[in-house]
Chain A
Amino acid sequence: KAGVTQTPRYLIKTRGQQVTLSCSPISGHRSVSWYQQTPGQGLQFLFEYFSETQRNKGNFPGRFSGRQFSNSRSEMNVSTLELGDSALYLCASSFGDRGVYNEQFFGPGTRLTVL
């Protein structure tokens, strides 16, 4: 069974641009969560989706948004990029609702660099 895939793996953008990251969960998984990992702030929860509905959202500005499609694939978008958005963005999928209660399987992440 294929694991969680994230595309692209690496991305370089400039300030003010926007970016879209993609996550394909493990087949049959319906919950997708997104996390931001930086050296300074560590791992921070962004949002969680289940059956195309956002269930939870972390403390991030409105520039960070996401969505989930009917096939459970998810995208996250960051608009008006800032230097501080440079990070590793991790996606995790799980089978059932309330993703964090179920084992989450993480993808390798997308490394975003903002210049």
Chain B
Amino acid sequence: AQSVTQPDIHITVSEGASLELRCNYSYGATPYLFWYVQSPGQGLQLLLKYFSGDTLVQGIKGFEAEFKRSQSSFNLRKPSVHWSDAAEYFCAVYGDDKIIFGKGTRLHILP
């Protein structure tokens, strides 16, 4: 069965600093991977997805993620965060007809 681990429950970065959110997955076959963002009181919004092909995926709001099969990772990055990026971020893996979400990483931004 597939699983997703987001090791960091909370991360705090200064506005303008770079960001990397970690995601490790477990799945026997080629995974379909997603990153979602949830702002307070909002539903989830898809940031980016990886199905196949180029392992560096570009998403919305300036985010990107890199799929590394050897490390079973799909880390999310942004070169310069904005105060509006404060939210909770979820990594997810789809396989065997179901989607599994990580427990989320809450991002705090210092002014």
Task: Give A96 Cβ to nearest chain B Cβ, in Å.
Answer: 14
Does B101 contact A42, Cβ atoms closer than 8 Å? yes
Does A56 contact B101, Cβ atoms closer than 8 Å? no
Task: Give B1 Cβ to nearest chain A Cβ, in Å.
Answer: 10
B104: A residues at CB distance < 8 A: 42-43
Interface residues on A, range: 10 to 19
62-110 of chain B: CB within 8 A of chain A: 90, 92, 94, 97-104
A49: B residues at CB distance < 8 A: none
**Known contacts A56-B97, A100-B32; A4/B102 CB under 8 A:** no
Taking a contact as CB atoms closer than 8 A, the residue among A44, A92, A100, A108 that contacts B42 in the complex is: A108
B14 interfacial by beta-carbon distance below 8 Å? no
A106 interfacial by beta-carbon distance below 8 Å? yes
| Number of chain B residues close to chain A: CB under 8 A | 20
**Known contacts A4-B43, A42-B104; A100/B90 CB under 8 A:** no
Task: Give B26 Cβ to nearest chain A Cβ, in Å.
Answer: 16
A104 interfacial by beta-carbon distance below 8 Å? yes
B41 interfacial by beta-carbon distance below 8 Å? yes
Does A92 contact B97, Cβ atoms closer than 8 Å? no
Taking a contact as CB atoms closer than 8 A, the residue among A4, A45, A108 that contacts B98 in the complex is: A45
57-90 of chain A: CB within 8 A of chain B: 58, 90
Task: Give B24 Cβ to nearest chain A Cβ, in Å.
Answer: 15
**Known contacts A100-B94, A101-B32; A106/B101 CB under 8 A:** no
Contact surface of B with A, Cβ cutoff 8 Å: 32, 41-46, 49, 51, 90, 92, 94, 97-104
Q: List 20 A-B contacts (CB under 8 A).
A: A42-B90, A42-B101, A42-B102, A43-B44, A43-B90, A43-B92, A44-B101, A45-B98, A45-B99, A56-B98, A58-B98, A90-B44, A92-B43, A100-B99, A101-B94, A103-B49, A104-B44, A106-B44, A107-B43, A108-B41
Contact surface of A with B, Cβ cutoff 8 Å: 4, 42-45, 55-56, 58, 90, 92, 100-101, 103-104, 106-109
- Minimum-distance CB pairs A-B, first 6: A106-B43, A43-B101, A106-B44, A42-B103, A100-B94, A100-B99
